[in-house]
Homo-oligomer: A and B are copies of this chain.
Amino acid sequence: MDEEAIVKFIGRVVEVKGEESKIEIKPEFCRGLFHLNQFSHLIVLYWLHLRDNENDRGTLRVIPMRHEGAPEMGVFGTRSPSRPNPIGLCVIQLLKLEECVLIVKGLDANVGSPILDVKPYIPRADSIPEAKAPEWTLKGPPT
């Protein structure tokens, strides 16, 4: 069986202004955005391209530095960008959809970050308000 696969970039983050980001989807994937604005929130998967190197992808233990009091954790218990597959995930608010461009709020990606996927946020499946997380996740940035 295969032990790896290829992901293709379907677009890029082209602008970041404060909490708002502009995502441009490549023309050949635009038809996939039809009716996307029926959802107020989306899950965006992006490629942490600056961490796509052997060293960052070899990271298995981290101390989440932006969260005061966080202990050393296995990387899969953190949202660290240094991880075996540098896939970033953000739940964002869709502010505007216009042809191939999405204006979103809350995307923690850099200008130039490639987009891998956009999925609808479905509260019934994705919202677990009572989920338990350790106290250090409450300090610093959300992820």
A→B interface (CB under 8 Å)? 1-10, 29, 31-36, 38-43, 45, 47, 49, 52, 60-61, 71-79, 83-85, 87, 89-91, 112, 114, 116-134, 137-138, 142-143
Please name all residues of chain B whose beta carbon is closer than 8 Å to the beta carbon of A133 when the two chains form the complex: 38-40, 120-124
A138 to chain B, nearest CB (A): 7
Q: Is the CB of A74 within 8 A of B34?
A: yes
Checking B39, B40, B45, B112 against A77 with a beta-carbon cut-off of 8 angstroms, the contacting residue is: B39
Q: Which 9 A/B pairs are nearest by Cβ-Cβ distance? A: A34-B74, A125-B142, A40-B132, A41-B131, A76-B118, A32-B60, A31-B60, A36-B77, A32-B74
Contacts A8-B85, A33-B74, A76-B32 given; indicate if A128 touches B123 (C-beta within 8 A). yes
How far does the alpha carbon of A5 sit from the alpha carbon of B85 in the complex, in Å?
10
Checking B32, B47, B79 against A120 with a beta-carbon cut-off of 8 angstroms, the contacting residue is: B79
Q: Is the CB of A38 within 8 A of B77?
A: yes
CB-CB nearest in chain B for A9: B3
23 A-B pairs, CB-CB below 8 angstroms? A2-B49, A3-B9, A5-B7, A5-B9, A5-B47, A7-B85, A32-B74, A32-B83, A34-B74, A35-B71, A35-B74, A38-B133, A39-B77, A40-B132, A76-B118, A76-B119, A76-B120, A77-B120, A79-B122, A85-B116, A90-B125, A123-B133, A124-B142
